[in-house]
Structure 1
Amino acid sequence: MTSTGTELADLAREAGTTFILALFVDLRGKPCAKLVPVEAIDLLATEGVGFAGYAVGAMGQEPRDPDLMAIPDPSSFTPIPFIKEGLALVHCDPHVEGKPWPYAPRVILKSLIARAAEAGFEPWVGAEVEYFLLTRNPDGSLATADTADTAAQPCYDARGVTRMYDHLTTISTAMNQLGWSNYANDHEDGNGQFEQNFQFAEALITADRVVTLRYLLSMIAAERGMIATFMPKPFADRTGSGLHLHLSLTSSGAAMFPGDEASDGHGLGLSSVAYSFIAGILDHACALQAVVGPTVNSYKRTGALTTTSGASWAPRLPTYGGNDRTHYIRVPDDQRIELRGGDGSANPYLAIAAALGAGLDGIARNLDPGPIGAVGEGSRPLPPTLLHAIDDMVGDDVITGVLDAVGDGVAEYFADLKRQEFFTYHGTVSPWEVEQYLTAF
Structure 2
Amino acid sequence: MTDLATLAEKAGTTFILALFVDLNGKPCAKLVPVEAVQQLQTEGVGFAGYAVGSMGQEPKDPDLMVLPDPASFTPVPFIKEGLAIVHCDPHVGGKPWPFAPRVILKSMLARLQETQGLEAYVGAEVEYFLLRREADGTLVTADPGDNAARPCYDARGVTRMYEHLAAVSRAMNELGWGNYANDHEDGNGQFEQNFEYADALTTADRVVTLRYLISMLAEERGMVATFMPKPFSDRTGSGLHLHLSLWKDGESAFPDGDDTRGLGLSGTAYSFTAGILEHASALQAVLGPSVNSYKRTGAVATTSGASWAPSFPTYGGNDRTHFIRIPDHHRVELRGGDGSANPYLAIAATIGAGLDGIERDLDPGTVGGDNGTVRPPLPRTLIHAVEALEADPVVGAALDAASDGEHRVAAYFAEAKRAEFFAYHSRVTSWEIDHYLTAY
TM range (shorter): over 0.9
1:245 to 242, 247, 265: 242
Alignment of 1:116-155 (within 5 A): 116-118=112-114, 119-155=116-152
1:258-279 alpha-carbon deviations (Å, 9 max, x no partner)? 0122xx2421110010000000
Moved >3 Å (runs of 4+) = none
Q: Which residue of 1 aligns with 2:435?
A: 436
Q: Which residue of 2 aligns with 1:63?
A: 59
By how many angstroms is 1:378 displaced? 4.2
Alignment of 1:39-438 (within 5 A): 39-118=35-114, 119-261=116-258, 264-376=259-371, 377-407=373-403, 408-438=407-437
Question: Identity over the aligned pairs, expressed in percent?
Answer: 72
Answer yes or no: is the 8 Å Cα contact 2:364–2:370 preserved in 1: no
Answer yes or no: is the 8 Å Cα contact 1:317–1:375 preserved in 2: no
Alignment partners' CA distance in 2, 1:85 and 1:304: 43
Alignment partners' CA distance in 1, 2:77 and 2:187: 31
User: Helix, strand or coil for the counterpart of 1:190?
Assistant: coil
Alignment partners' CA distance in 2, 1:134 and 1:389: 29
Alignment partners' CA distance in 1, 2:109 and 2:273: 18
State the TM-score, normalizing by the size of structure 1: 0.98
RMSD of aligned Cα (Å): 0.8
1:23-51 alpha-carbon deviations (Å, 9 max, x no partner)? 00000000000000000000000000000
Quick one: which amino acid aligns to residue 190 of structure 1?
G
Alignment partners' CA distance in 1, 2:243 and 2:439: 48
Alignment partners' CA distance in 1, 2:89 and 2:134: 39
User: Helix, strand or coil for the counterpart of 1:406?
Assistant: coil
Answer yes or no: is the 8 Å Cα contact 2:154–2:184 preserved in 1: yes
Alignment partners' CA distance in 2, 1:322 and 1:257: 14
User: Helix, strand or coil for the counterpart of 2:3?
Assistant: helix
User: Helix, strand or coil for the counterpart of 2:435?
Assistant: helix
1:337-361 alpha-carbon deviations (Å, 9 max, x no partner)? 0000000000000000011111111
Alignment partners' CA distance in 2, 1:253 and 1:219: 37
By how many angstroms is 1:116 displaced? 1.0
User: Helix, strand or coil for the counterpart of 1:305?
Assistant: coil
Aligned residues: 435
Quick one: which amino acid aligns to residue 201 of structure 1?
A
Answer yes or no: is the 8 Å Cα contact 1:23–1:31 preserved in 2: yes
1:265-308 alpha-carbon deviations (Å, 9 max, x no partner)? 42111001000000000000000000000000000000000000
Alignment partners' CA distance in 2, 1:429 and 1:238: 23
2:14 paired with 1:15: no
1:143-200 alpha-carbon deviations (Å, 9 max, x no partner)? 0000000000000000000000000000000000000000000000000000000000
By how many angstroms is 1:254 displaced? 1.1
Alignment partners' CA distance in 2, 1:379 and 1:184: 35
1:302-326 alpha-carbon deviations (Å, 9 max, x no partner)? 0000000000000000000000000
By how many angstroms is 1:7 displaced? 1.0
1:402-433 alpha-carbon deviations (Å, 9 max, x no partner)? 11111141111001100000000000011111
Unpaired runs of 5+ residues, structure 2, are none
Alignment partners' CA distance in 2, 1:283 and 1:436: 39
Quick one: which amino acid aligns to residue 110 of structure 1?
K
Answer yes or no: is the 8 Å Cα contact 1:185–1:194 preserved in 2: yes
Alignment partners' CA distance in 2, 1:134 and 1:51: 32
Alignment partners' CA distance in 2, 1:395 and 1:379: 15
Alignment partners' CA distance in 2, 1:89 and 1:249: 28
Alignment partners' CA distance in 2, 1:427 and 1:140: 23
Quick one: which amino acid aligns to residue 368 of structure 1?
D
Quick one: which amino acid aligns to residue 68 of structure 2?
P
State the TM-score, normalizing by the size of structure 2: 0.98
Alignment partners' CA distance in 2, 1:15 and 1:275: 44
